[in-house]
């Protein structure tokens, strides 16, 4: 069996596509979580500076002027540097950017401190803006520049307020690292779960593949069975495959029966032909004896010809691509024409053959094939009716035309009815002493199906059989139809 190694496996495609999408989704979720954490850290970091700036602004902005001394500059967090006090480094600038005053703890930093505004004043930093920082000696500070306005919204100056950076920048990195680790762990777990899930799905499929590869033509009747629980889709696939194998087994069985029966049916007349010829050649015979031998040979040749013609016609009908030309067919006229050869046979056996033919019974069909239907149905009726009558009816019923042949013959046992359209099937209880090869009704059924029709049977043993062929009617108007004289 071809390995098909050039095709990607289901597990690889699942991990590559579904796994890739899930890993990307987890990554996007992690990025969104980090951004939310980033915004929250920024807001929490700026909040103390914003509150302090608003407090100072409220104290020093009075009467449209900056009253620097109105603020209490001796607060511990403006004089001291110890971290437990949480020192704030405050500078006040006028509208021209000149430094007016700064808190005493700035001098304690032991390094030069900016004496100008580090950036234009902003009342509220946007949430995406990272913390603004600068270094003084060994200290890292973050800051805000807050504008000062009077009641008429005139710009009076600005506050530059800084604070020792307590670890927010490290928290950015730690948060990103934590989210990254969580993303890696979740991605690994996701891929692992996908791999395990694919194994659960692929396990039954591997069993199915191995069981199918191990099948042979003589084991098609054995259903494939898979161990373990099955998903609904896998169970449906298994059911469909077993159904396919069953139909293949039936088709192979039918082919074997067909081959055996065809061989038997062909061999029988050939054997008779050979026996008649050998018998005639064994010693001189009278002219009458030779004539009888030739009649027997002719009868077997006709039987053999009919068998071969039926086999060829069935072969054509079994090929879907075989073209057939459908034309309007007057079914009553066709039946009337085919009845003539059977009238003499019926009269010779004392059987009454009558017909009631509706001239409106027209259909779209293949005339040569419909003739085969009529011939085979009438031939069966005559062969299995020792005495009595045969009634042939053709009528139009709504959108259908119906051909019905009713006889008073031997009938068909109920258990045989489902099989009478099988190829080479002959009813055991009635086939003895009756010529035939068991292809007639199989041919009729195939032709009726080709015409989108329905073939039906009703029979009682000892009382007779009714064969009913229903075909789609031709939707045309027939002016003033005249009855057909039969």
Please tell me which residue, 137 or 7, carries the higher pLDDT value.
Answer: 137
Given the candidates 3.90.550, 1.10.10, 3.30.70, 3.30.450, the CATH classification of the domain at 11-174 is: 3.30.450
Predicted model pTM: 0.49
Q: Are 382 and 434 in contact (CB under 8 A)?
A: no
Flag whether pLDDT at 119 surpasses 60.
Answer: yes
Residue (of 445, 385, 391) closest to 420 by Cα position: 445
Dist. CA 446–CA 252, nearest whole Å: 19
For residues 13-23, average pLDDT: 84
Where does the chain hold its CATH 1.10.287.130 domain(s)? 232-317
Identify the residue whose tokens are 């292809």. 439
CATH 3.40.50.12780 fits 327-472, yes or no: no
Strand intervals (E) in 288-368: 327-330, 351-357, 362-365
CB neighbour class for 417 (10 Å; exposed up to 12, middle 13-18, buried from 19)? middle
Instruction: Give yes or no for residue 478 having a pLDDT over 70.
Output: no
CA distance 351 to 343: 9
What average pLDDT does range 224-228 have in this prediction?
Answer: 77
pLDDT at residue 463 is higher than 60 = yes
**203 token code pair:** 């396990």
The CATH 3.30.450 portion of the chain extends over 11-174
The answer to whether the beta carbons of residues 400 and 471 sit under 8 Å apart is yes
For the stretch 173-203, pLDDT in tens is 999 999 999 999 999 999 888 888 777 777 7
Structure tokens at 460: 């009682």
Q: Measuring CA to CA, which residue among 264, 312, 467, 271 is closest to residue 383? A: 467
Q: Which of 8-12, 19-23, 370-374, 418-422 has the lowest mean pLDDT?
A: 8-12
Give residue 479's pLDDT band: very low, low, confident or very high (50, 70, 90): very low
So what's the pLDDT on residue 141?
A: 96
The angle formed by the CA atoms of residues 373, 357 and 379, to the nearest 5 degrees, is 30
pLDDT band, very low/low/confident/very high, at 107 (cuts 50, 70, 90)? very high
- Per the model's pLDDT, the better-predicted residue between 121 and 440 turns out to be 121
Share of the chain above pLDDT 70, in %: 86
Residues 367-404 have pLDDT tens digits of: 988 988 998 899 889 988 988 999 999 999 889 999 99
pLDDT value at residue 323: 83
- The top-level CATH class assigned to 232-317 is mainly alpha
Average pLDDT, the chain: 84
> In this structure, are residues 141 and 168 in contact, taking their beta carbons and an 8 Å threshold?
no
- Tell me what percent of the residues of the chain surpass a pLDDT of 90: 47
Buried b (16+ CB within 10 A) or exposed e, 273-297: beebeeebeeeeeeeeeeeebeebb
Least confident among 254-263, 402-411, 462-471: 254-263
Reported as a single tens digit per residue, the pLDDT across 446-462 is: 899 989 999 999 999 98
Domain ranges in the chain with CATH number 3.30.565.10: 327-472
Q: What is the pLDDT of residues 25-45, one digit of tens each?
A: 999 999 999 999 999 999 999
| 3-state DSSP assignment of residue 88 | strand
pLDDT of 482 strictly over 70: no
Cα separation, 187 vs 285, in Å, equals: 100
CA atoms of 119 and 106, how far apart (whole Å): 19
Distant-in-sequence, close-in-space partners of 386: CB < 8 Å, separation ≥ 6: 349, 409, 410
Q: What was the pLDDT predicted at 269?
A: 62
């Amino acid at each position: 069996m071809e390995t098909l190694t050039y095709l990607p496996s289901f597990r690889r495609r699942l991990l590559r596509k579904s796994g890739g999408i899930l890993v990307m989704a987890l990554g996007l979720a992690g990025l969104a979580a980090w951004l939310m954490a980033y915004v929250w850290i920024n807001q929490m970091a700026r909040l103390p500076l914003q509150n302090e700036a608003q407090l100072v602004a409220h104290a020093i902005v009075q009467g449209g002027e900056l009253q620097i001394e109105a603020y209490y500059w001796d607060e511990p967090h403006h004089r001291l540097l110890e971290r437990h006090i949480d020192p704030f480094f405050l500078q006040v600038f006028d509208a021209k950017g000149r430094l007016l005053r700064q808190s005493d703890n700035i001098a304690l930093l032991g390094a030069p401190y900016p004496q100008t505004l580090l950036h234009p004043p902003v009342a509220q930093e946007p949430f995406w803006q990272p913390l603004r920082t600068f270094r003084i000696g060994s200290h890292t500070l973050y800051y805000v520049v807050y504008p000062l306005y009077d009641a008429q919204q005139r710009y009076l100056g600005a506050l530059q307020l800084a604070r020792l950076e307590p670890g927010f920048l490290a928290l950015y990195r730690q948060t990103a690292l934590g989210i990254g680790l969580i993303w890696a762990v979740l991605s690994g777990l996701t891929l692992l779960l996908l791999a395990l899930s694919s194994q659960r799905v692929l396990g039954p499929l591997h069993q199915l593949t191995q069981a199918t590869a191990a099948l042979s033509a003589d084991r098609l009747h054995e259903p494939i069975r898979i161990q373990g629980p099955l998903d609904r889709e896998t169970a449906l696939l298994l059911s469909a495959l077993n159904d396919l194998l069953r139909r293949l087994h039936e088709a192979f069985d039918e082919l074997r029966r067909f081959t055996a029966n065809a061989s038997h049916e062909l061999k029988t007349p050939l054997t008779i032909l050979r026996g008649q010829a050998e018998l005639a050649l064994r010693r001189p015979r009278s002219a009458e004896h030779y004539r009888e031998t030739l009649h027997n040979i002719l009868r077997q040749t006709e039987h053999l010809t009919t068998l071969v013609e039926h086999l060829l016609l069935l072969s054509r009908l079994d090929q879907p691509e075989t073209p057939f030309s459908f034309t309007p067919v007057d079914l009553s006229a066709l039946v009337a024409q085919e009845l003539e050869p059977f009238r003499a046979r019926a009269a010779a056996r004392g059987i009454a053959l009558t017909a009631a033919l509706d001239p409106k019974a027209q259909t779209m069909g293949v005339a040569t094939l419909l003739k085969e239907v009529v011939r085979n149905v009438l031939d069966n009726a005559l062969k299995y009716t020792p005495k009595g009558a045969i009634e042939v009816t053709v009528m139009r019923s709504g959108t259908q035309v119906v051909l019905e042949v009713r006889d008073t013959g031997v009938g068909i046992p109920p258990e045989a009815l489902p099989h009478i359209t099988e190829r080479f099937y002959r009813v055991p209880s009635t086939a003895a002493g009756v010529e035939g090869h068991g292809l007639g009704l199989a041919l009729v059924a195939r032709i009726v199906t080709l015409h989108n029709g329905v073939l039906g049977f009703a029979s009682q043993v000892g009382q007779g059989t009714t064969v009913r062929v229903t075909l789609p009617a031709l939707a045309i108007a027939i002016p003033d139809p005249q009855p057909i004289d039969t």
